[in-house]
């Protein structure tokens, strides 16, 4: 190809070419190069080496179309040398690293597409210099930080896609200068603040869904007169829906579900004549379903479920087709026979109570009387014993949550909201109304034998414990689901960094693929080990009756935004001395982490937790799963580490703790030896805690002291992110 010196346009899109890209050196007239949709790359760092050959034609090259080719590696900095480049498409690949800041030198760039890659870091503020940019697509990466204010300088920008990243902060006020912006997608980030009052009259598509926006919608929202699609779902917007939304007469799709809006559906919505999709579900809307919704002739899908609507269902238009309307979770009647609801009572007609309703009222009255009697008995008992009528020191007035609010918070228990699961429960991420915000909701599988007992045990345990390194419970829910079955859930503080298991083994719940960019450095691992040890010390030694966790493992260690560890899952926990006979308890914990004496019927003890902690400590610094193929024929993680101590320690430590150093200096060698000594000391603690005989195991108090000493040594060595090797 490099001999075709007169070539200026090369386009092989949508074929099946493989085997990499050859050199295009010598093509000094090349203007257009397109490989889109060919599996040319291997996903490795050498895939983009061919781009250096394009430096022979930097002054003529106008278009690079390299999307969806499985290219790996990082973006080369010399891209900035393609001074004439106008369109650069390299989305839908597996490119990693950060975005080269020198891209801002491509002053002729009109379209930049880096979407659907694995790029990290922040969006360069220097991109404000790309004055000719018309389209900017960096969606589907791992970008974090705030949206640069300088993007407001891109005065010709018409499409801006930043969705599916980890961006934080607010929408820059400088966006008011984007007078030609047609499409803005900021969905599925961590953005916050109120709805922007900046009115971009040019906008056709606006998506702010799945963020942390809050506050009411301003009346100025009616100024977005050209909007065809508006998606504000899965935020925390509140207040009443402004009547000015009726001015959005071009709207075809309106999604404002999963927020905290209340009040009536505004009559002005009757002006939304072009609507095809309307989703107002999972809010707190009240009143009747307006009849004008049945007169919107283009409406194809309507979702009003999980609100507080009442009264008669209209029978015109879309309401003739039950499959196109969702109304579950309201107090409705009437409608077409397809809905299967009772007819509505006529005005002035006395509503007769059914036998079931009478029974419910009678039972409710009996329950109330019973509660009053119990309260009186407790009062008299405490007065007799001169006990003050005060709440338990660990008890708080917890906010009440219902089954419906949890269903709404979890997007109807959507699989996409699942962040963890176990034998007895599934854990969802959700957004609850009010002050609770983003939470983790543990829903118990009551159809599994032992789940209800696990729920009661966890509630009883969490009621009596409180420590900075234990997961914080916010409230509980004992209710009935939509099918009339018992429903138990516990609501916890949400831990943004997930479980320790995901960090150690780089496993993404969403993709099932490894995520090597997610790694803990040495000091972070030591801090986590100390956090867990502090929690165990509290449970074992600082409570009036010692508490045994019984299931300590990486998936039950959760990390907050500062990577502080919190011990979770107290479904198997028992206070000592336990009242349950050892023979009836069964396996106490998870195989591999459970103490060996438990398998022989021994009683619960704090020594059992110490065994689990020792194995956990060894796993934190080796990143070896207990299910690894290496552990067979009787070889355990404990024995594996013990055999390699101390001469081969560097061979068993997690490789991500090291970095290669081409030319070792005397200081780096000294530093390496000091770090290895620290690692040897850590492994000795792990071995001592996980000895086979309970009496031989180290106590948690001694483990805490030794780990603090090791941490002090590491801190004195300076900023150690990885260890020179």
**N- to C-terminal Cα distance for the chain?**
43
Tally of residues, the chain: 725
H helices within 580-636, ranges in order?
A: 606-622
Residues in contact with 505: Cβ distance below 8 Å, sequence separation at least 6, in sequence order: 554, 623, 625
Give the Cα separation of 74 and 51 in Å (integer). 12
φ, ψ dihedrals at 478, nearest 5°: -120, 105
Give the Cα separation of 203 and 230 in Å (integer). 10
Helix/strand/coil (H/E/C) assignment for every residue in 636-699: CHHHHHHHHCCCCHHHHCCHHHEECCCCCCHHHHHHHHHHHHHHHHHHHHHHHHCCCCHHHCCC
541 and 534 Cβ atoms separated by less than 8 Å: no
246 and 223 Cβ atoms separated by less than 8 Å: no
Give the Cα separation of 625 and 237 in Å (integer). 43
State how far Cα 637 lies from the chain centre.
Answer: 31
What amino acid positions are annotated as catalytic residues? 551
> Which residue, among 203, 194, 138, 201, has the nearest Cα to 171 in the 3D structure?
194
φ, ψ dihedrals at 554, nearest 5°: -60, -35
Q: Which residues of 691-720 are buried (b: 16+ CB within 10 A; e: fewer)?
A: beebeebbbbeebbebbeebbeebeeeeeb
Residues in contact with 317: Cβ distance below 8 Å, sequence separation at least 6, in sequence order: 293, 294, 295, 296, 297, 299
Taking each helix axis from N to C end, the angle separating 666-689 and 522-537, rounded to the nearest 10 degrees, works out to 30
Q: What is the CA radius of gyration of the chain?
A: 31
84 and 107 Cβ atoms separated by less than 8 Å: no
Give the Cα separation of 279 and 251 in Å (integer). 13
φ, ψ dihedrals at 122, nearest 5°: -110, 165
- The owner of tokens 């989305």 is 91
Structure-block tokens of residue 148:
């640069």
């Amino acid at each position: 190809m490099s001999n075709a010196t007169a070539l200026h346009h090369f386009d092989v899109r949508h074929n099946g070419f493989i085997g990499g890209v050859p050199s295009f050196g010598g093509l000094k007239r090349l203007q257009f190069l397109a490989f889109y949709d060919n599996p040319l790359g291997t996903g490795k760092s050498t895939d983009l080496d061919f781009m250096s050959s394009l430096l022979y034609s930097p002054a003529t090259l106008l278009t690079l179309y390299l999307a969806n080719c499985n290219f790996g590696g990082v973006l080369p900095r010399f891209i900035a040398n393609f001074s004439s480049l106008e369109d650069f498409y390299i989305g839908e690949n597996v490119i990693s690293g950060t975005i080269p800041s020198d891209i801002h030198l491509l002053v002729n760039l009109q379209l930049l597409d880096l979407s659907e890659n694995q790029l990290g870091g922040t969006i360069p503020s220097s991109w404000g210099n790309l004055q000719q940019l018309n389209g900017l697509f960096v969606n589907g990466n791992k970008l974090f930080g705030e949206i640069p204010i300088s993007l407001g300088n891109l005065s010709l920008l018409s499409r801006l896609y930043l969705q599916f990243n980890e961006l934080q902060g607010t929408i820059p006020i400088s966006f008011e200068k984007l007078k030609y912006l047609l499409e803005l997608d900021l969905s599925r980030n961590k953005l916050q603040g109120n709805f922007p009052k900046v009115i971009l009259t040019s906008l056709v598509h606006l998506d702010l869904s799945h963020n942390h926006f809050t506050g009411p919608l301003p009346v100025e929202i009616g100024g977005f007169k050209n909007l065809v699609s508006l998606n504000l779902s899965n935020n925390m917007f509140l207040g009443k829906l402004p009547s000015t939304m009726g001015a959005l007469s071009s709207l075809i799709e309106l999604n404002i579900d999963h927020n905290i809006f209340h009040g009536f559906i505004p009559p002005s919505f009757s002006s939304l004549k072009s609507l095809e999709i309307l989703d107002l579900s999972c809010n707190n809307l009240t009143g009747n379903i307006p009849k004008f919704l049945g007169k919107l002739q283009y409406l194809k899908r309507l979702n009003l479920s999980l609100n507080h609507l009442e009264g008669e269902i209209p029978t015109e238009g879309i309401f003739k087709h039950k499959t196109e309307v969702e109304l579950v979770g309201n107090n409705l009647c009437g409608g077409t026979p397809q809905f299967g609801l009772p007819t509505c009572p006529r005005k002035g007609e006395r509503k007769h109570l059914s036998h079931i309703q009478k029974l419910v009222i009678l039972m409710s009255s009996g329950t109330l009387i019973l509660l009053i009697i119990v309260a009186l008995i407790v009062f008299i008992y405490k007065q007799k014993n001169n006990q003050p009528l005060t709440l338990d020191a660990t008890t708080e007035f917890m906010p009440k949550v219902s089954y419906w609010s949890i269903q709404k918070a979890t997007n109807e228990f959507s699989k996409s909201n699942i962040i963890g699961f176990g034998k007895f429960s599934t854990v969802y991420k959700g957004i609850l109304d009010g002050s609770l915000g983003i939470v983790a909701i543990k829903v118990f599988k009551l159809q599994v034998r032992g789940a209800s007992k696990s729920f009661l045990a966890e509630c009883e345990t969490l009621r009596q414990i409180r420590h900075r390194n234990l997961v914080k419970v916010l409230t509980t829910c004992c209710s009935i689901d939509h099918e009339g079955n018992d429903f138990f859930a516990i609501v916890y503080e949400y831990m943004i960094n997930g479980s320790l298991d995901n960090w150690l083994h780089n496993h993404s719940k969403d993709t099932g693929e490894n995520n090597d960019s997610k790694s803990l450095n040495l000091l972070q691992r030591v801090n986590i080990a100390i956090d867990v040890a502090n929690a165990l010390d509290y449970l074992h030694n600082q409570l009036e009756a010692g508490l045994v966790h019984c299931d300590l493992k990486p998936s039950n260690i959760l990390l907050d935004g500062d990577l502080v560890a919190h011990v979770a899952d107290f479904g198997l926990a028992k206070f000592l001395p336990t009242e349950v006979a050892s023979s009836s308890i069964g396996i106490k914990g998870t195989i591999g982490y459970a103490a060996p004496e438990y398998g022989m019927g021994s009683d619960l003890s704090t020594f059992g937790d110490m065994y689990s902690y020792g194995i956990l400590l060894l796993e934190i610094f080796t990143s070896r799963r207990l299910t690894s193929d290496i552990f067979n024929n009787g070889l355990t993680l404990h024995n594996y580490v013990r055999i390699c101590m101390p001469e081969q320690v560097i061979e068993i430590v997690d490789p991500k703790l090291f970095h290669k150093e081409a030319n070792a200096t005397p200081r780096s060698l000294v530093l390496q030896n000091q770090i290895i000594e620290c690692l040897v000391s850590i492994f000795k603690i792990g071995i001592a805690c996980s000895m086979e005989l309970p009496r031989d195991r180290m106590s948690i108090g001694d483990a805490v002291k030794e780990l603090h000493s090791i941490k002090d040594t590491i801190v004195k060595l300076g900023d150690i992110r990885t260890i020179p090797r």
